[in-house]
Structure 1
């Protein structure tokens, strides 16, 4: 009986340690967002904190959706217009918006498409 308890304890300990180990390939939302936006060739200044940009885009979208909860289309268009007025072309603005939503505010994914 004592041997059985030892074996069970060892199995439980191994399971806990394996369950707590993070996969070596896992990326944080910030890493994923930085890699994704970097691949879009959007001209940001060299020291731009890209994750902060993504979070700000989500804040803009959240605020716009809260002020127009009946129809999300004007809210999304408003964020895209803001981004294009800051020098991005329409494709870059859309890509940045979608990446921001995927990384930082997935609850809004249904409003921005795929």
Structure 2
């Protein structure tokens, strides 16, 4: 099982607990964001299982950052924690950092300042 497939399986379980989500019609902006994220993930060489909801993975990364950064004065442990979580899911450290940066770039640019160089 690939990293993103395992991560997506966890996201599906979380969504089932949280309740159904009604998306309605997808906007062109959202489609462009999702396509951009998918391209970045492909460029990083991260294996993706068929049927993986990449946008959900990207949003989950942003959720982890948001939850960790809320109320903290030192973002370094939070960023390292997200990278470690991604790495522990079966991808290389460089890919984990790249995945986090891609998610931030596309879905939550407000966290860019916490990522350093």
Q: Same fold (TM over 0.5)?
A: yes
Partner of 1:51: 55
- 1:54-97 deviations in whole A, cap 9, x for unaligned? 00000011101115x11000000010110011001110001000
Q: Which has the larger Rg?
A: 1
Correspondence for 1:17: none
Matched, 1:70 2:73: yes
The residue that corresponds to 1:14 in the other structure is none
Work out which structure has the larger RCO, using CA pairs closer than 8 Å and 6 or more positions apart in sequence: 2
Whole-angstrom CA distance in 1 between matches of 2:73 and 2:114: 12
| Pairing 1:96–2:90 present | no
- Runs (4 or more) in structure 1 with deviation over 4 Å come to none
Q: How does 1:32-43 map onto structure 2 within 5 Å?
A: 32-43=36-47
> Paired residues, what number?
87
CA displacement 1:25-44 (0-9 Å, x = unmatched): xx711110011111211012
Unmatched runs of 5 consecutive residues or more in structure 1: 1-26
SS at match of 1:39: helix
2: CA distance between counterparts of 1:39 and 1:73? Answer: 26
